[in-house]
Amino acid sequence: MAATTGIRQRHGNGCKRPASGCRCPWQAEVYSARDKKKIRKLFATKAAAKGWRDDASGQVRRKELRAPVSTTLQQAAEVWFDGARSGVVRNRSGDAYKPSAIRGYEQGWRLRIKDELGAKRLCDITRTDLQDLVDRLVADGLKPSTVVVTLLPLRAVYKRAMARPESGITINPTTGLQMPAVRGGRDRIADPEEASKLLDALDSKDRALWATAMYAGLRRGELMALRVCDVDLAAGVIRVSRGWDYKEGVIATKSGRDRKVPIAGVLRDHLDEHLLGLAWREKPDALVFGSTPASPFTGTPTTKRAKRAWKAENERRIKRARDAQEKQVVLLKPITLHECRHTFASLMIAAGVNAKALSAYMGHANISITLDRYGHLMPGNEDEAAGLLDAYLARADTTGRLAQLDLKTGTKTGTRGV
């Protein structure tokens, strides 16, 4: 019958009622002339099979549907990783993936996905398969952030496949997954007084590096790759044009664009003193914070040295308080280089720097990243925000009362010298 062409019921060997009706699945098929293959799919009912076949026939004519290919998930992933390493495949912002990000994706792929799903055809993996994977990772006790990062390369692989009709992928199984909630803690931010005391407690050879992170917001890799020629004290700017990766060496900045960061007076003093003491400052491309990019971060790493210095300062404070018989003592709370970057952003916001300028100073790919990350008020600014709201409401209330008075007296609003 013409209405049921390409649709038939698939009876199993154990089916005893083919003539009187049974629950065996219905198979629908369409022919793809481009692929010279039939595309088949099973359904629970004849109506569902017919509906799919009608839709699929139109998709084949419009070249939106192709026969499934034999590419495995592992093969597709290898192509994606090669493209990401070469810079052909870009992230959502259109920038090349950082080598460290690719290594993280590869590690998650190798440890948690490859053995379980890698041998399956790309077109055979279902949303249920991936939801089962997510559920198992959560049950194994992995952190929510680790589960989310593990799925990122899978999402990227299928997003790329969906954009290519030749892949034969028409349904993205990574959409609609129920993922564990990632609840990050509040960023550690030092207030101006605390930032100054943290720096004062450090050894002089480390102070300029931490000050640059605290008052200019450079990332760790940008600090490692910073050259003397990038610090222009006369112009009052730091030119950030490159980063450093432990395996790749010099790399582009995270956003792929150069930027200028203003040098505040509090930072200028630290940099001026530090640069004058550099024995290698006259060498071409001399580095600011070490004879090699990794030198401040190897041996006894920068953060470990800083924590020792802050611990020693806290011990001195405790001893002074004990000698003076003081009951309370304020101790220094350690901070990381990345938290110094958060501190820089918050200090700039508190100083009134607009979001667009801050986005440029931070090296973000777009302003939405800055607003999402730092759009909240600094701790302690709640009173200022409440004051602004009170002032606005007071003005609105005054305007309303004047309007009522004008109605009573018959005077038009706006004629008074208010």
Mean pLDDT of 308-331: 93
Question: Is residue 222 domain-shared with residue 338, that is, in the same domain?
Answer: yes
Condensed to tens digits (0 to 9), the pLDDT of residues 349-367 reads 888 888 889 899 999 878 7
**Looking at 326, 345, 364, which one is the last position of a domain?**
345
Q: How much is the pLDDT for 378?
A: 43
Q: How much is the pLDDT for 209?
A: 96
Question: Is residue 230 domain-shared with residue 153, that is, in the same domain?
Answer: no
DSSP bridge pairs for 251: 243
416 or 149: which leads in pLDDT: 149
Residue 372, in any domain of the structure: no
Q: How much is the pLDDT for 411?
A: 57
Residue 350, in any domain of the structure: no
Residue 412, in any domain of the structure: no
**Mean residue pLDDT across the chain:** 84
Q: How many domains does the chain have?
A: 3
CA distance 262 to 249: 26
Question: Is residue 40 domain-shared with residue 124, that is, in the same domain?
Answer: no
CA dihedral 17, 18, 24, 27 (to 10 degrees): 180
The pTM score is: 0.68
**Could you give the C-alpha distances from 147 to 107, 122, 153, 182, in angstroms and in order?**
12, 21, 11, 9
CA distance 276 to 270: 10
Condensed to tens digits (0 to 9), the pLDDT of residues 208-257 reads 999 999 999 999 999 999 999 999 999 999 999 999 988 888 998 888 88
Condensed to tens digits (0 to 9), the pLDDT of residues 92-128 reads 778 888 898 899 999 999 999 999 999 998 888 999 9
Question: Is residue 131 domain-shared with residue 216, that is, in the same domain?
Answer: no
Question: Is residue 201 domain-shared with residue 338, that is, in the same domain?
Answer: yes
Question: Is residue 107 domain-shared with residue 48, that is, in the same domain?
Answer: no
Question: Is residue 273 domain-shared with residue 338, that is, in the same domain?
Answer: yes
- Which CATH number is 82's domain given? 1.10.150.130
Q: How many alpha carbons fall within 13 Å on the CB side of residue 351? A: 13
Question: Is residue 213 domain-shared with residue 278, that is, in the same domain?
Answer: yes
The answer to whether the beta carbons of residues 218 and 341 sit under 8 Å apart is yes
Residue type, 28: A
Residue 147, in any domain of the structure: yes
Q: How much is the pLDDT for 19?
A: 62
- Among 22-31, 198-207, 310-319, 379-388, where is mean pLDDT lowest? 379-388
The answer to whether the beta carbons of residues 353 and 209 sit under 8 Å apart is no
Q: How confident is the model at residue 413 (pLDDT cuts 50, 70, 90)?
A: very low
**Looking at 299, 324, 345, which one is the last position of a domain?**
345
- Which CATH number is 318's domain given? 1.10.443.10
Residue 417 has pLDDT above 70, yes or no: no
Residue 178, in any domain of the structure: no
Q: How much is the pLDDT for 418?
A: 36
Question: Is residue 243 domain-shared with residue 289, that is, in the same domain?
Answer: yes
Domain with 24 in it:
2-12+20-61
